[in-house]
Structure 1
Amino acid sequence: MSELRLKLLVWAALLLLGSLLALLGLRGLGELFRTAQQASTLEQALNLIEPRRAAPGRLEWLPDDPTPRPLEPFRRDEITSDYLLAHEELSHTHFTGETTGLRSYFQSGALEDALLMGQGPSGVMVDWKHRLRLHFYAPDGATVAFSDTYWYAQVSRQSPARLAERTLEVVMQLDDGNWRIHHWRLLQERPLPARLLPVSTAGVRGVNYQPRSHPFDLFGPGYEPREVLSDMRIGRMLGLGTWRVFVPYPPPPGYRQRLESFLSLAQDQQVRVVVTLLDGYTRYRFEDFPKVFAHLEELAPLLRHPAVWLVDAKNEPDRDYARAGQELVIEFLRAWSRALRYYSAKPITVGFIEPHPALVPELEVLSFHHYGTPAQLERRIEGFMKHQKPLLLEEFGFHTQRNKLPDPHSELEQAHHYQQVLQFTHRYNLGWLAWTLYDFDRGAMPGGRAVERHLGLLRADGTPKPVVQVLAGQPAPPLGWSERLGKWLVFWPLLLLGMGLLLGWRLWLTRRAA
C-alpha cells in the first residue's frame, strides 16, 4: 500500500512539474512572440520614411565648446546617425501626416512638437547642411546638448515655398541603446529675402556658345581651352561680348576645373558670361535639394567670379510644366533663385520661353526666348515691358537648312531675319544673345532636331554667313528670286504633283468603267 501511495505521489509530482513547465513554456513563447511583434513594429516605424526618403545629407561637427569631458568618437557617430534619422522621420511626417515613427526618435517636449507637424498642412519639408557644435556631455555618457544650424525648404499647397537658415538648441538622451531628442528650442531663423541688384541689359550683344568639336557638351572631357580662346577672339571681332554657357546636372567629373578655365579665359578676353545652371534637370523635387545645394556650394566660388555677369537659374523650365507640374516648377525655382542670390551675389534670371508672372518679382532680369517672326517679337516685348524689368532676348535664331521641308530657309533669309530682330532690340533698348555661333557637322542634337545643325552665325568650317554683315551694322544682302518666292517653290510643285495624281486616278477610273 505504501509502495502504491509513493508511486501516486511521484506521478502527481511529475504531473505538477510538467504542468508548470508547460505554463512556463507557453509564457516564454508568448513573451518571445510579443518581443518579435514589438521588434517588427519598431522596424516598420523605422522604415516609414523609406517610400519618400528626404535624406538631409552630410552632417558636420564644428569645434566643441569646452565640456566636462571629450565626446568619444563612437558616441559622436551614434548621435550623428540617430539625429539624421530623426530629421528624416520628421520630413516624412510633414509629407504624410503619419506620426507612428516619431516615438522612435523623439521623447518628452520634443515629441509633442514633432506630433504637431502631423496635424499641419501636408507638403514637403527637407533640411540639409547641418552644422553641430557640442556644448555639454554628461559624465554618465547618456546626455548631450548641442546647437544645430542648418538650411531647410518647406512647401505646401496652402503656402509658397519657404527657404531659411535655422539654429536649434538640442538635448539628446541615450534610451535603450538609442539616442533620442528630448528637448529642442529655436534660437534663430533667417529667411532669405528677395533682395534685387541693379543691372542693365542695354547694349548687351552676345551668343549662346557651343563648341564645334563637341556641341552641347562644353564642360565634358572634350573641353579644349585653345578652341575656346580662338572662338572668343572670333566672337569679339563679331561684337559678341556676352556669352551664355550651360552647366549640366548631374555634373560630369572635372567640370568645375573646366568652368574655372572658361571663366578665366573670358576675363582675359573681356567677355561677360551668363552661367545657366541645372541643365538637363527636370524633376523639380524639393527632396533633391540636399544634392542640388551640395552642387551649388561647390560652384559658389566660381559664381562670384569677375567674368560672371548673370546667373541663369534654369533653361526653359516651362517645357517641364507637363511633366513636373507648373506650380511645383515655379515654387522650386522661387526657392532656388533665392539660394543662388545668397551664394553668388550676382543678378539672377531664368531662361523662360514665356516668363511666368509669379516668378518675375524674384528676378533682376526678365529673360525670354523667341524663334517666331519679328512681328510677333515686337508684340511680346511690348507685353513684357509692363513688368518694368530689364529685358534680355536670351535666345533667338533662324535656321539655314535649305532642304527642311515644308519650311526651308537660306542664309540670305537668316540675314534679313536678324536685321529685323535687331531693329526691334535697338528700338526697345534690350540686350540679346543669338543662337548660336557655329553650325554643327558632328555630335548629337537635342531631341534629334536636324535644324539645330544650321542655326549658326558661322558655317561649320568657320566661314561667315551673310548674317555677319548685319552684326557689323551693314544692311543684309538683297534676297534672290528663290528667297522671294520662298515657300511657293515648295507649294506649287506639290500642288501640281497632287493635281496630276488626282487627274491620273480619274482617268484610270474612267477607262475601267468603260
Structure 2
Amino acid sequence: MTLSIHKNILKISLFVVYISVTLLVVFGLSAVFTYLNTGADRNLMLHNKIHETVHYQPEIIWDISNTEGREMSNTTLQNLEKDYLNAWYVKQVAFEKNTDKGLKDYYTKSALATIKNSINTNTKNKISIQGTSTNHHPSVDFFSEDGQLVVLTDKEVKEYKRIYKNNILQLETTEVNTYQILLLLEDGFWRIRQILRIEPTKISNNQVHLTQLNQNIKGINYYPQDTPWDMFGEDFNEKIINQDFNIIQNAGLNTIRVFIPYEDFGKSEVKAEKLEKLSTVLNLAVKNNLKVIITLFDFYGDYQVLDWTLNNKHATKIINHCKEHPALLAWDLKNEPNLDFESRGKENVLAWLKQMIYHVKSIDRIHPVTIGWSNTKSATYLKDMLDFVSFHYYEDLQQLEKAYQQLEKNIPDKKIVLGEYGISSYRGLWNPFGNSEEDQAEYHQQFQKIASKNKIPFISWTLYDFKKIPKEVVGQLPWRKYNQKHFGFINQTGERKASFQYISKP
C-alpha cells in the first residue's frame, strides 16, 4: 500500500511539472509573438540591423546656423545624421540589388512607393545601378516646434553611378546634385517623406592637379626582419627601426617604401595608436635623412562601390595626419591592384583607383600620387591621372632595359619608378635548382649597371631575409614561402650577403 501511495505521489508530481512547463512555454511563446507583432517594436528590430552598424560614412558638413523654428540639439542632429545617411545607403543597396529590403525603416509609405516603382521598372528592364555619394553639405532650413519634422537642403552632393543592363555596363558617371528633403520622426527614427532635386545635375569633370616628383629615388621596400607585413603591430620596436634606417642611409639609399594594412589600422575608424607608430617611423626617417613613400590599403581587395565612403574616411585620416610631415615623399594608393582584375573585375578596380586619386588629391595637393603596378603591361593604366608611374619587375633582367625604354616612349611626360625588383637566394629542399647568394649578388650588380645607364629610379625588395612569411602573402605552399624568405640583402642571422655591396651602386 505504501508503494502504491508513493507511485501516486510521483505521478501527481510529474503531472504538475508537465503542466508548469507547458504553461511556461505557452506564455513564453505568447510573449514572443506579441513582441514580434507589435508594429513599432518589429520595425525597431529590423531598423537596428543597419542603424547600429557602420556601412556608410561619406564626408558630411552640417549647417544649422539659419534654422527656422525650434533650436536643434547636438543629440538630435546626431540621430538625424545617422538616419539620413542610412536612408541613402539602403536606397543604393535597393537599386543595386533591385530589392526593397530595409527601405521601410528609412522612408515613409509615400516615398517608399516611389522608390518601389523605380525598382520594379528597373527589374522589368534588367537594369541595376551601383552608386554611392561621397560628399554631403546639408543645411537644416526648418525644425518644427514639436520636434517631429525637418526640412533640409543638401548642397553639392557628389554621386558616383554605374548603370548596367543585362549585367553589361552602359554608363559610368559622377554627378553633383542639390536636394531638398523633408523628414518625419516616426517610431523614434527619422524617415524621408520627400526628396527633390532642386538644381540641374552637374557632371563632375574631376580634373586632377598634377605634382612633380622631385626626388632622385634610390630606395628600398622596408619591413623589420622580425615583423614582416606586421610593422605596426604589438612588436613595434623603435630602436630596431632606427638601426635599420641607419643601415639604409649609410648604404647610400635615400628612400623607403612602407605599407599601411587597411584592417590592422582600423579600416574607417583609424586607430590613434597606429598613427602614433606611423609618426614615429616618419620621425626616424627624418633623423636618418630618408624620404618615405606610404603605400595605402595593403591587404584590401573589395573595391565595391558601397565601400568607397569607408575607404575615403580611412585615407582622409591617414593623409591629414601625415601630409605636413617633412619625411613624406609620395602616396602609393595600392600595391599591385592589377592582380585583382580577374577576381574583382577590372572595371571595379580601375573605378575605385580613379575615385581614390581624386580623393587623395583633394586632401593633399602637394605630395605626388602613384600606384604600384605589378608589371610593365599594367603601368600605363591611369597614367594621365598620376604624378609618376610605378611598376614592379621580377622578370628576366636581360629584358629590363628594353621594357623600361618602351615605357618611356609610352609615357614620355612622367617619371617612371621601378618600385619593386629583386631575386631570391633560396636554394634548398623546396627549390634545389634555385639561385645562390652569389647569383643574387650578380643579379644586383647587373641591375645597378642597367639602372645607372638608363637613369632608372629604383626601390629594391627588400632589406632582410625573413624567418616567417604570413600565409596571406604567398599562401601555404612551402616552395613559395621559402622563396619569399630570401630576397634580402641581409640574411636571417644578420650578416650582410654578397649582394649588399650592390644595394645602391654597381
Closer, same or farther: CA 453–124 of 1 in aligned 2, 3 Å: same
Tell whether 2:260 aligns with 1:257. no
Give unpaired runs (5+ residues) of structure 1.
1-35, 475-514
Comparing 284-293 with 127-136, greater Cα deviation is found at 127-136
Superposed displacement of residue 98, structure 1: 4.8
| Distance (Å, rounded) in 1 between the aligned partners of 2:290 and 2:202 | 39
1:60 CA displacement: 6.5
> Is the contact made by 1:65 and 1:134 (CA closer than 8 Å) also made in structure 2?
yes
Whether 1:247 and 2:247 are equivalent positions in the alignment is no
- Which of 397, 403, 421 does residue 396 from structure 1 map onto? 421
Task: Report how far residue 86 of structure 1 moved.
Answer: 2.5
1:434 aligns with 2:460: yes
Look up the equivalent residue of 2:160 and give its one-letter code: A
| Residue pair 1:201, 1:431 contacting (<8 A) in 2 also | no
Is this contact kept in 2: 1:93–1:118, CA < 8 A?
Answer: no
Cα RMSD of the aligned pairs, angstroms, is 3.7
Residue from 350, 361, 372 that aligns with 1:351:
372
CA distance, structure 2, for counterparts of residue 402 and residue 175 of structure 1: 70
- State which of 194, 199, 206 in structure 2 corresponds to 1:182: 194
State the partner residue of 2:95.
94
Residues 12-411 of structure 1 aligned to structure 2 (within 5 Å) = 55-57=55-57, 61-71=62-72, 76=77, 79-98=80-99, 105=107, 122-127=128-133, 130=136, 132-139=138-145, 141-148=147-154, 152-157=159-164, 158=169, 162=173, 167-173=178-184, 179-186=191-198, 191=204, 193-200=206-213, 203-252=216-265, 253=271, 254-304=273-323, 305-345=325-365, 346-354=367-375, 355=378, 357-385=380-408, 386-388=410-412, 389-403=414-428, 405-411=431-437
Scaled by the length of structure 1, what TM-score is found?
Answer: 0.73
SS at match of 2:68: coil
CA distance in 2, matches of 1:54, 1:115: 28
Q: Which structure: greater helix fraction?
A: 1
Letter of the aligned partner of 2:224 in structure 1?
P
Query: Aligned equivalents of 2:85 and 2:459: distance in 1?
Result: 45
Code of the aligned partner of 1:387:
I
Aligned equivalents of 1:86, 1:422: Cα separation in 2: 57
Assess, with a 3 A threshold, how the Cα gap between structure 1 residues 411 and 356 changes in structure 2: closer, same or farther.
Answer: closer
Instruction: Give the C-alpha shift of residue 453 in structure 1.
Output: 1.6
The alignment status of 1:466 with 2:498, answered yes or no, reads: yes
Matches within 5 A, 1:411-490: 411-442=437-468, 444=470, 446-447=473-474, 448=476, 449-471=481-503, 473-474=505-506
After superposition, give the CA deviation of every residue in 1:171-214 in whole Å (9 maximum; x if it has no partner).
33457986333243456968473424232477311000010121
Give the fraction of aligned pairs with identical amino acids, expressed as a percent: 24
Residues 386-430 of structure 1, C-alpha deviations (whole Å, 9 max, x = no match): 122211110001111232525321222112211222222223322
Q: CA deviation at 1:271?
A: 0.8
Structure 2 vs 1, CA of residues 380 and 114 (structure 1 numbering), >3 Å: closer, same or farther? farther
> C-alpha displacement at 1:286, in angstroms?
1.6
**CA contact under 8 A between 1:82 and 1:105: conserved in structure 2?**
no
Deviation at 1:123, TM superposition (A): 2.8
**Does structure 2 conserve the Cα–Cα contact (< 8 Å) formed by 1:313 and 1:349?**
yes
Deviation at 1:279, TM superposition (A): 0.6
Greater shift in the superposed pair: 262-271 or 352-361: 352-361
Distance of 1:220 and 1:184 partners within structure 2: 48
> Any idea what SS the aligned residue of 1:263 has?
helix
1:239 maps to amino acid: G
Name the TM-score, length of structure 2 as normaliser. 0.74
Q: 1:160 to 1:371 in 2, by over 3 A?
A: farther
Q: Residue 88 of structure 1: CA displacement?
A: 2.4
Aligned residues: 436
The alpha-carbon deviation at position 74 of structure 1 amounts to 7.1
Q: Using the alignment, how far apart are the partners of 1:265 and 1:163 within structure 2? A: 41
Q: Which has the larger radius of gyration?
A: 1
- CA offset at residue 351 of structure 1? 0.9
Check 1:206–1:76 CA distance in 2 against 1; reply closer, same or farther (3 A cut): closer
In 2, Cα distance between the equivalents of 1:467 and 1:138? 74
Question: Aligned letter for 1:408?
Answer: G
Q: Are residues 453 and 96 of structure 1, via their aligned partners in 2, closer, same or farther at CA, if it must alter by over 3 Å?
A: closer
Do 1:110 and 1:183's aligned partners in 2 also have CA atoms closer than 8 Å?
Answer: no
For structure 2, list consecutive stretches of 5 or more residues without a partner in the other structure. Answer: 1-35, 266-270
Q: For the Cα contact (< 8 Å) 1:96–1:118, is it kept in 2?
A: no
Q: 1:96 to 1:306 in 2, by over 3 A?
A: same
Aligned partners of 1:323 and 1:224: how far apart in 2? 36
The answer on whether the counterparts of 1:86 and 1:106 sit within 8 Å (CA) in structure 2 is no
Structure 2 SS opposite 1:454 = coil
- Say whether the 8 Å CA contact 2:177–2:197 is kept in structure 1: no
Q: Distance in 1 between matches of 2:248 and 2:382?
A: 32
Query: Does the 8 Å contact 2:160/2:173 carry over to 1?
Result: yes
- Partners of 1:424 and 1:200 lie apart in 2 by 22
Look up the equivalent residue of 2:229 and give its one-letter code: F
Quick check: 2:448–2:505 contact (8 Å CA) kept in 1? Answer: no
The alpha-carbon distance between structure 1 residues 77 and 274, as it changes in their structure 2 partners (threshold 3 A), is closer
Secondary structure of the 1:361 match is coil
Which deviations, in whole Å up to 9, do the C-alpha atoms of 1:440-494 show, x marking residues without a partner?
Answer: 23464632511222111122333322223234645xxxxxxxxxxxxxxxxxxxx
Check the 8 A contact 1:238/1:472 in 2, yes or no: yes
- In structure 2, relative to structure 1, the CA distance for the partners of 1:225 and 1:114 (3 Å cut) is farther
CA contact 1:102–1:115 (8 Å) conserved in 2: no
